Amino acid sequence: MATSSKRPEQVAWVSLILSVVFFGITFLLGRWSDFFAVWAVSWLFLSAVLIWFVLAVQFHTRGLAEQEKLDIGQLTKDKESSAIFQGKGERAALFAVAEHRLQVLEKWFIPIFSGLLALYQLGIGLYLYKTIPGPGDIETKQPLLCAIWMTAIAFVSFLMSRYATGMSAEPKWKPLRAGGSFGLGIAVLCFASAIGLALWQFQLFTVLNIATYVCPILLVVLGAETALNVILDVYRPRLKGQYSRSAFDSRLLGLINEPGGILRSAASAIDYQFGFKVSQTWFYKLLEKWIVTLILFGVVTLYLLSCIVVVNPDEQGIIEHFGNPLNRAGEKRLVGPGLALKWPWPIDIVYKDFTERIMELHIGYVPKIDEKTGEIEREPLLWGQPHYEKEYQLLVAGEQSGVVSDDGAVPVSLLVAAVPVHYRISDLYSFLYNHSDSAKLLETICYRELTRYAASAKVEVDENSETDESLLGAGRALAKQKLKENIQNSADDLGLGVEIVFVGLQGVHPPPQVAKDYQAVVSAIQEKQALILNAIAERNNTLSSVAGTAAEADKLYDLAAKYHQAEEQNDKELAQKLVKELDDAFGRAKGEIFDALRGARSYAFERATLAKATGERFASHLKAYRAAEEIYKHEQILRVLEEVTKDIRTYFVVAEENDNQIFIFDAREKLTPSIYDIGGFEESSEK
């Protein structure tokens, strides 16, 4: 028994020295290479240094107490001093100084040290978590050299932890389990960091990034566990002769260090509940014996599942073999929809993306997301109210873009543009490998092209505008087409490997604060354009009614202008030529000119014919007058009377000289004769 604590004490001191060395190596190596994970591991080693120091002091004190017991036992055999040491009261306890120190150490020092260790772990863990650098913030160097060092440290730490854990199977050496569990945790973390550093050389950052976060989180968790154990130890009863587990002996790390202990605890609980020894059954013994093998088998099976690649129907994948997406023939390792096989990770890594799905970019706005359904909320696009979570404003040229104000400011307008852009990945290799973040780059291109187009466009265009580019009104269709072409051309120039399917401009409107003023301006512009268009329509209508078409009217105007110019220049030959051309042009013209010419010709023919007939009639009247003057006069008088009285009923009244008999004659033509007009009536009356 004199040397029972010497061996664990030696293990504790050796582990302490190795932990100090590893702390220095990882600290300096992390600072030199700027790898945060390596530097963070050094603080875990510092925790291990403190734990091994306490364990070394504890076993050293135990060794002194054991030696003291041997010395007291040897002295009691001496007859001369037997009277002194045979007392079993306070006199014997006064000589047990080392035993008293051991009791004070285990009762007070170790719990206090555990509390201080918990504060250290919590403090340094939170500090490390807050100082984790972002991706690309620090330029690192020599990842392979760091990986070699971390592998060596992990290997040595693993050996020492397993040796200490094996020694802790002895009941009196159980405190070594705390150092062994902590050392195994550090060894696993160092080995994971070594793998991450090796993969870093091939631009694979996932493993090391995970290890970077695991170090601070592990320190915080261990600190919280140690603090909780310290509190629970205050209320935990202590039985004499029973091992009291230290507060810094992590139960969580013990699950990794001694997985069989879980089964033993479970078996004890089942034994107590069912009343028979479950731990004596063949299944429990088989499970306790092969538990590590079964776990490793499950891990290996899960690892081998990484050889299977599942590609959905609307996806494509590219397989990287040691970071190279091309095979020996220089062809791309593309994988279509379905199942495919590859080498396990990290030898082969597959990158998948949607190549048949139409994806959308929200340019100029951030849509509102329904918290319940997770879908985009759709609202009516009214100018006087905001529609999205965020809306960005664009500068658009004003209507008087050529005018500069007194203070030198060029008039511009502000518009809120909500432009959804739909695209599809047409070349997965270019999309993944030509740029680090092609989707973000495409979004940047869309913002650039939209801003550039808006700066050269106007709110509305009219006939007098120097450009036909606008974001509202009739120019919207052209703007959508031109934006789509510009974005596609820029994406092709950069080799993004995308196809722009649709560019929408349905959400272009002024800021809600000035919506009414914008509506007034737009209404004025539209009224102006309407007046101009009405004037043009009236002009075309007038010219068409005059000459048949506006083009014919313009030709007649040009010929007339040339004719007047030739008259002013006294160029008779040209004037005669132009007169003929004008006559031909007027002859071919239609519309009111054609009607006027036709009416004039008809009127001229009519007047000439009437004049000729009048002359001929006058000549015949003159001959009749000369032949019988009185008859001609009476005939003309009667003709005039007939003409004048043709619409008047006429009666002729003739009386005798003595008025004995009056004759009334009706000059109106009778359709049917009266009884007086029938012949033979007078003869019959006379008879």
What DSSP string runs through 231-248? HHHHHS---TTS----TT
Tell me the per-residue pLDDT of 414-433, one tens digit each, with 9 for 90 and over. 677 778 888 888 888 888 88
Judged against a pLDDT cut of 50, whether residue 85 lies above it is answered with no
Q: Is-contact 335 311, C-beta < 8 A?
A: yes
Who wins on pLDDT, 337 or 673? 337
Please tell me the predicted confidence (pLDDT) of residue 2.
Answer: 45
Who wins on pLDDT, 90 or 472? 472
pLDDT (mean) for 106-115: 84
Beta strands in 90-137 (DSSP E): none
Judged against a pLDDT cut of 80, whether residue 289 lies above it is answered with no
Please tell me the predicted confidence (pLDDT) of residue 273.
Answer: 59
Q: pLDDT-based confidence at 32, cuts 50/70/90?
A: confident
Judged against a pLDDT cut of 60, whether residue 81 lies above it is answered with no
Query: Per DSSP, what are the bridge partners of residue 353?
Result: 316
Residues above pLDDT 70, as percent of the chain: 68
Say if residue 349 is exposed, middle or buried (CB neighbours under 10 Å; 0-12, 13-18, 19+).
buried
Who wins on pLDDT, 152 or 455? 152
| Four-CA torsion 411, 515, 508, 420, nearest 10 degrees | 130
- Joined tokens for residue 36: 């945060």
Domains of the chain listed by start with CATH number: 6-258 (no CATH), 259-357 (no CATH), 363-509 (3.30.479.30), 613-686 (no CATH)
Judged against a pLDDT cut of 90, whether residue 614 lies above it is answered with no
- Joined tokens for residue 161: 């932890």
Judged against a pLDDT cut of 80, whether residue 486 lies above it is answered with yes
As a residue count, the chain comes to: 687
Mean residue pLDDT across the chain: 76
Q: Is-contact 43 124, C-beta < 8 A?
A: yes
Q: Is-contact 426 417, C-beta < 8 A?
A: no
Please, which residues have CB within 8 angstroms of residue 667's CB and are 6 or more apart in sequence?
Answer: 649, 650, 651, 652
Judged against a pLDDT cut of 70, whether residue 612 lies above it is answered with yes
Q: Is-contact 398 458, C-beta < 8 A?
A: yes
Please tell me the predicted confidence (pLDDT) of residue 174.
Answer: 83
Q: Which of 252, 259, 253 lies closest to 289, judged by CA?
A: 259
What's the DSSP call for residue 514? Answer: G
Q: How many CA atoms lie within 13 A of 65 on its CB side?
A: 17
Please tell me the predicted confidence (pLDDT) of residue 1.
Answer: 39
Who wins on pLDDT, 530 or 649? 530
Please tell me the predicted confidence (pLDDT) of residue 682.
Answer: 46
Judged against a pLDDT cut of 70, whether residue 491 lies above it is answered with yes
Instruction: Give the C-alpha separation, 439 to 444, whole Å.
Output: 9
Q: pLDDT-based confidence at 20, cuts 50/70/90?
A: very high
Q: Is-contact 70 1, C-beta < 8 A?
A: yes
Q: pLDDT-based confidence at 5, cuts 50/70/90?
A: confident
Residue type, 393: Q
Judged against a pLDDT cut of 80, whether residue 60 lies above it is answered with yes
Sheet with 334-335, side-by-side order of all strands: 334-335, 315-321, 348-354
Beta strands in 276-384 (DSSP E): 308-311, 315-321, 334-335, 338-341, 348-354, 359-363, 365-366
Please tell me the predicted confidence (pLDDT) of residue 237.
Answer: 62
Please tell me the predicted confidence (pLDDT) of residue 79.
Answer: 47
Q: pLDDT-based confidence at 686, cuts 50/70/90?
A: very low
Please tell me the predicted confidence (pLDDT) of residue 21.
Answer: 93
Please tell me the predicted confidence (pLDDT) of residue 681.
Answer: 45
| Whole-prediction pTM | 0.46
Q: Is-contact 383 519, C-beta < 8 A?
A: yes
Who wins on pLDDT, 434 or 511? 434
| Four-CA torsion 614, 615, 619, 620, nearest 10 degrees | -30
Tell me the per-residue pLDDT of 229-254, one tens digit each, with 9 for 90 and over. 888 877 766 656 555 677 778 777 77
Judged against a pLDDT cut of 80, whether residue 534 lies above it is answered with yes
Please tell me the predicted confidence (pLDDT) of residue 684.
Answer: 42
Please tell me the predicted confidence (pLDDT) of residue 631.
Answer: 83
Tell me the per-residue pLDDT of 290-319, one tens digit each, with 9 for 90 and over. 666 777 888 888 888 888 888 888 888 888
pLDDT (mean) for 454-468: 58
Instruction: Give the C-alpha separation, 99 to 97, whole Å.
Output: 5
Query: Per DSSP, what are the bridge partners of residue 394?
Result: 415
Q: pLDDT-based confidence at 209, cuts 50/70/90?
A: confident
Pick from 134-143, 359-368, 677-686: least confident: 677-686
Say if residue 603 is exposed, middle or buried (CB neighbours under 10 Å; 0-12, 13-18, 19+).
exposed
Tell me the per-residue pLDDT of 387-409, one tens digit each, with 9 for 90 and over. 666 777 666 666 554 544 555 55
Tell me the per-residue pLDDT of 624-646, one tens digit each, with 9 for 90 and over. 888 888 888 888 887 787 777 77
Please tell me the predicted confidence (pLDDT) of residue 459.
Answer: 60
pLDDT (mean) for 445-452: 84
Instruction: Give the C-alpha separation, 349 to 166, whole Å.
Output: 39
Instruction: Give the C-alpha separation, 456 to 472, whole Å.
Output: 14
Q: How many helices (H) and strands (E) does the chain have?
A: 21, 14
Longest dimension (CA), the chain: 223
- Joined tokens for residue 594: 């054609």
